[in-house]
Structure 1
Amino acid sequence: MTSPRDYEVVGMFGVRAGGGSPLAVVHDAEGLSTGEMEWIAGRLRVDETVFVLPPTVPRATHRVRVFTRRGESPFGGHSAVGTAVALVRSGRLPSGRVVQERGGKLLELEADGERATVTATGPPPVAALAPGPLLAAVGLTAGDLGEGPVLAAGFGPLFHLLPVREKAVGAARPDVAAMSGSGLPDLFVFHWDGTARIATARLFAPGYAIDEDPACASLGLALGVWLGELGAVDGRTDFRIEQGAGMGRPAELECAVGVDPDSGALRATVGGRAPQELTGELAVPPAAVGQLP
């Protein structure tokens, strides 16, 4: 690495600094090797680290590579909200529409220096699941099961959605080894309050190198699919996900789901804040990469 790079850590969907899902954004990352990116992500020790690069297609405003502590991730939707806010807040992009390029795919967002929103339009894939193995994976029983379908759903990666009774959300205790051994990369345990339109939730995601995630944008979209399957979508339905409080990182995801007026397909939206927590400079000599723990 020939020169220092600015970086910041934000709390995606945090209700305050210190809340939400921690994300590191490394600005102006052109010229960094894959090995340097892996090393930096390992040293920063947050759930995900995004490296911002120049776009390669005309429509895109920026391109990203996303790393967890285990290596590069094929997904960029979860971190797109925090990245967009960081780019606008730093003056690298203007407020309004931003288009993220990741792995040949484009993702459009609306962003300013405080919050960003992403929208996806279906039809998304949906698969019914047997509740027993999912309940067992987090130490719950059939008596803890809530109302509504048990599904794998989402725009992009499919998440495993398990509705439970209110008290069962806090009682869930994931068996991470069993989840990994059974090919269950994630489990979204939530209680749905249909009157208030609030989901109180926890996400266990050992398959993504995250034991528990205090907030996840992609799951806001997936829960919109779940509401469609529940039959709770009438025109546009606004709802909220509250997550991360038990981890000391409270988060709120502002979501909506409805029907696209042009295509008739399901249309889901998720957004929220990304408070800035840390800023700094990275200065790693190339010779150090691969030599330091």
Structure 2
Amino acid sequence: MTITVPFKQVDVFTSKHFKGNPVAVVNFLDVEEDSIAHATLQSIANWTNLSETTFLFKATDPSCDYKLRIFTPMCELPFAGHPTVGSCQAYLEFSGRGAVRNLYQQCGVGTVELIIDGKTIFFKGPKAKAADISSTEIRNYEGCLSAGFSQKPMLLDVGPKWVVGLMQDAKSCYDLEPDFSKLKALTTKYGATGLIVAGKYSGEDKYEMRAFAPGEGVAEDPVCGSGSLALAMYLQELNSYGASYEFEISQGGRVHRDGKVSANIEHRDGEVEYFIGGEAITLVNGEISV
């Protein structure tokens, strides 16, 4: 039996139309999750051909407002950043809920807290793991970039597994010309989602960031939320901040986007928490038949 459900396409981490990272969001809040086959969800994600397509379902955890399932054109993900922000915006519109401060998303990594601050939606980063990578891996990644890192890269598992490294400055990051074929083979070999590179703007609490995931079918992600989270965690590992630190991330210029991400590293009661946020604009409203 064919059903027709609401559908949106949301541009994320931007206040300018067509300058962020789009996510397709399908509203299954009134549909039993068990009635929709995994293969159907994967087919829809393959058809939209965006980096991610998400599906809103009723939460099975009573502490959460909704359940989110996140798909690339090839597979399901336990968590991703820009789909979380965009799907929160879609949920607010689908549900008709007014001014709320907090929402809770159920997904593959557990419960993700969302904070709505005016037009900006922040997600609290899930628990993550940081690990060193070998000197051989580092040399191989530098070979793909034809450039050296200014600090030793690390592997950050935030759901997706990102290798994160710093370049000398923002310009050297922006000017990189990666060998995507070699990078695809390398990330596949080492079991990483992709590579995050960033460079700091002189005199500013701001970084230029690029996210490469050719092994996942995305040569360069225009604005990457999970990558921004991985960068924040990497900077904390490098600098051992003893107090809260806020900074901005610019992404997407090389692929004709203008993404803006806010990142907060917060120290509370001896714990470090990470918040990644940005604006989201709904550009497409419609229906999809399943």
TM-score higher than 0.5: yes
Post-superposition offset of 1:13 = 0.5
Please give the secondary structure, in 1, of the residue aligned with 2:203.
coil
CA distance in 1: counterparts of 2:141 and 2:109, whole angstroms? 33
| 8 Å Cα contact 1:88/1:111 also seen in 2 | no
- Residue 231 of structure 1 corresponds to 239
Paired residues, number: 278
* Higher mean displacement: 83-92 or 10-19: 83-92
- TM-score, normalised on structure 1? 0.85
| 8 Å Cα contact 2:80/2:160 also seen in 1 | no
| 8 Å Cα contact 1:21/1:215 also seen in 2 | yes
Task: Give a deviation string over 1:122-162, Cα, whole Å, max 9, x none.
Answer: 57423255332112123x233xx33x332222534331112
* Higher mean displacement: 18-27 or 194-203: 194-203
Asked if residue 211 in structure 1 is aligned to residue 219 in structure 2, the reply is yes
- Residue 288 of structure 2 corresponds to 282
Post-superposition offset of 1:233 = 2.4
1:33 aligned to 21, 37, 43, which one?
37
Please give the secondary structure, in 1, of the residue aligned with 2:125.
strand
- Residue 136 of structure 1 corresponds to 143
CA distance in 2: counterparts of 1:197 and 1:56, whole angstroms? 40
Matched residue type, 1:10: V
- Residue 161 of structure 2 corresponds to 158
Query: What's the RMSD between the two structures over aligned residues?
Result: 2.3
Please give the secondary structure, in 2, of the residue aligned with 1:125.
strand
| 8 Å Cα contact 1:89/1:114 also seen in 2 | no
Task: Give a deviation string over 1:54-79, Cα, whole Å, max 9, x none.
Answer: 11111111012211111322334442
1:106 aligned to 81, 87, 111, which one?
111
| 8 Å Cα contact 1:179/1:185 also seen in 2 | no
| 8 Å Cα contact 1:129/1:151 also seen in 2 | no
C-alpha spacing 1:71/1:230, structure 2 compared with 1 (3 Å): closer
CA distance in 2: counterparts of 1:103 and 1:190, whole angstroms? 27
Post-superposition offset of 1:88 = 1.0
- TM-score, normalised on structure 2? 0.86
Task: Give a deviation string over 1:260-290, Cα, whole Å, max 9, x none.
Answer: 2x2x122211101111121211124xxxxxx
- Residue 152 of structure 2 corresponds to 149
Matches within 5 A, 1:5-84: 5-28=5-28, 30=31, 31-84=35-88
Please give the secondary structure, in 2, of the residue aligned with 1:90.
helix
Matched residue type, 2:166: P
- Residue 88 of structure 1 corresponds to 92
CA distance in 1: counterparts of 2:216 and 2:38, whole angstroms? 19
Task: Give a deviation string over 1:240-262, Cα, whole Å, max 9, x none.
Answer: 110012212210110111322x2
2:178 aligned to 170, 174, 192, which one?
174
Please give the secondary structure, in 2, of the residue aligned with 1:254.
strand
| 8 Å Cα contact 1:7/1:26 also seen in 2 | yes
Q: Percent identity over the alignment?
A: 25
Asked if residue 245 in structure 1 is aligned to residue 253 in structure 2, the reply is yes
| 8 Å Cα contact 2:194/2:213 also seen in 1 | yes
Please give the secondary structure, in 2, of the residue aligned with 1:275.
strand
Matched residue type, 1:225: M
Matched residue type, 1:204: F
C-alpha spacing 1:112/1:276, structure 2 compared with 1 (3 Å): farther
Matches within 5 A, 1:253-292: 253-260=261-268, 262=269, 264-284=270-290
| 8 Å Cα contact 2:11/2:18 also seen in 1 | yes
